[in-house]
Structure 1
Amino acid sequence: MPIHRLSRLSDLDAGQWDALLPDAQPFLRHAFLSSLEDSRSVGARTGWRPAHHLLHGDDGRLLAAVPAYVKAHSYGEYVFDWGWAEACERAGIRYYPKLLVGIPFSPVGGARLLGEEGALAELLGVLGEGVEEGIWSGIHVNFTDSRADALIAAQDGWLERLGCQYHWFNRGYRDFQDFLDALASRKRKQLRKEREQVAGQGMDFRWMEGAELSEADWDFVYACYASTYEVRGQAPYLTRTFFSLLAERMPEAIRVVFARRNGRPVAMAFSLVDGETLYGRYWGCLADFDRLHFETCFYQGLEYAMAAGLRRFDAGAQGEHKLIRGFEPVITRSWHRLGHPGLRVAVSDFLAQERVGIRAYAEEARAALPYRQVP
């Protein structure tokens, strides 16, 4: 069956792509991925060259697809392989370009292999041939769901990597006080004190959906987002145009909470939502306020999730400070197929040890949760 490599997602009808998606998660939607490309947030200039692989049936129907990018670096992936790349450089082994199957700048688990299982097995085989032929040094499939895990594990040559994130789960809480009542006394007092400190600085908060935001609002959102990179001396991954395109193409999935002082916005947190999960993505503040980050990024999100009846709050990668605020350790997976035999053996040995450490850490982290009864 014919396999096509697509360098621009907008060249494919959105309905065909979205028909392959197994759920309503926003990050795989044509609107999200095409907004990244059309805003030039990803592209050859940024080291993210789109190379989506599509498999069509003899009748022309799209049977399977993977969102893929030829990478010239490892920025914006959140599954860190810099050590592998540096080892290759020292040994004179080419590590870039590599092929990444995933969502740029979005460490969110979900579907990565879209479509019919038989067609996907064929598509994975073709991708593997690209490694054997030296087109790219390896394939990396990041933040997979259980279906992709099973499909990839059934094929030879893939290495499994584990990671750990922190997600909050709604266990039927009526409101924030109901959630606090589930915590141990000392932790409950800490969270309440943090919220009181923010309120004492004269802050109030307003949630808005994508269709409600003006271009002036988006200017403020982007200024806050960009500031989080500027303080580290880095350029932001996303362009200002991305936010306008996303607001035009999928406004129903966008949620932004503005922190205001004396009626004027001073900070924001940008999130996406589907039918069961709130995904906290970007935050920024244009001045320093004590504890405002925790309130804007976590406590406001928890309140929103409870009010909306959402099952889960994924507030982003990393951050052990989430544990004491009720976010539970969750194991994530990625898969790697490497072409160089020596590299493959070395990485395989490393990952075997790392998996043991990750599982042990997740168990230890669960013991640090603030609940009176650990879930």
Structure 2
Amino acid sequence: MALLLRSLPAKALKAPFNLKSTLIRRGVGFQSLTTRAFSSAAVSPPSKAIVYDSHGQPDAVTKLVEVAPVEVKDNDVCVKMLAAPINPSDINRIQGVYPVRPELPAVGGYEGVGEVLSVGSAVTSFAPGDLVIPSPPSFGTWQTYIVKNQSVWHKVDKGVPLEYAATITVNPLTAFLMLEHCISLNSGDAIVQNGATSMVGQCVIQLAKSRGIHNINIIRDRPGVDEVKERLKDLGADEVFTEKELEVKNVKSLLGGIPEPALGFNCVGGNAASLVLKFLRQGGTMVTYGGMSLKPVTVSTSSFIFKDLSLRGFWLQKWLSTEKAEESRGMIDKLLGLVQDGKLKYKMELTPFNDFNTALDKALGKLGSQPKQVIKF
């Protein structure tokens, strides 16, 4: 996949964007500008955004554009974006393969953090200078200014590092919810997961450790694997195995004093999912929340009949679409508290917005294994 914006000449990156000649960006949708005067004198500054008006490969369908000022209505909050990550689901939305996608034309990005620039006349919960995140996550965070209703925003502590505030909602919240709500776990129990080096995987390790839950981790064979194992153990991993190391008849002989896991997490699929299943105890559950290998989950008949294993899925966006979503803000505050206490961390790289194409290249794995890419505006 080619770099986003690589094919655009320098002039194109600075030229105003004329989408259907009269459309401007406002929140998730667009409004007709024409010659209509704003009903209020309060407007946002002009914004720069990564926009796509059709689905496909990012380099072919996205553009860095200038967006006209947007009216700030009575219940609106204008936010100056400070940082936003590039998540795999963001890429999938641009490609048109994600189950839920914004209406086109759309601005990319789904989570991030910003500073309140101005508020509408009816807004009392926010003030200029507040640090806020969209909660639940909201389409269109890859732009310099966003105007949305005050109900979209959640205030966070200014002491939280920007890169963590920008990334707390999708991956850490997924890890938290899977550990808390899939089955009942007690201190001394064990879990097993593949994709342990992912952001969710790193969060699972630390959150499990904080609850006294043993964690067994599966990673792919790679150069520098000993260093990777050591890094995960520093986070709190009890055991880390490569897929090749698990090519044994009885993987449970590798556990030592760790009990057989009651719960497994799969974000890879294929053989890596089968390895998770091999560890699970009688009546255990495997939760699939991703499919990085693009291979199906295959389960032996004996796993169902003789071990009574259960398979289920987890999708954060579906959970956030229920009445339980109101609980998420308290969970996010708890996670950010762990960040501030030094009990939750993961590797990221901040990249200037002007170097978005480089950040995308890294996010796509074109430069090998890279930290989570976070755009800094």
TM-score > 0.5, shorter chain as reference: no
- The structure richer in helix per residue is 1
TM class, shorter-length: under 0.3
Give the alignment's TM-score, normalised by structure 2: 0.24
- Identify the structure with bigger relative contact order (alpha carbons < 8 Å, sequence gap 6+): 1
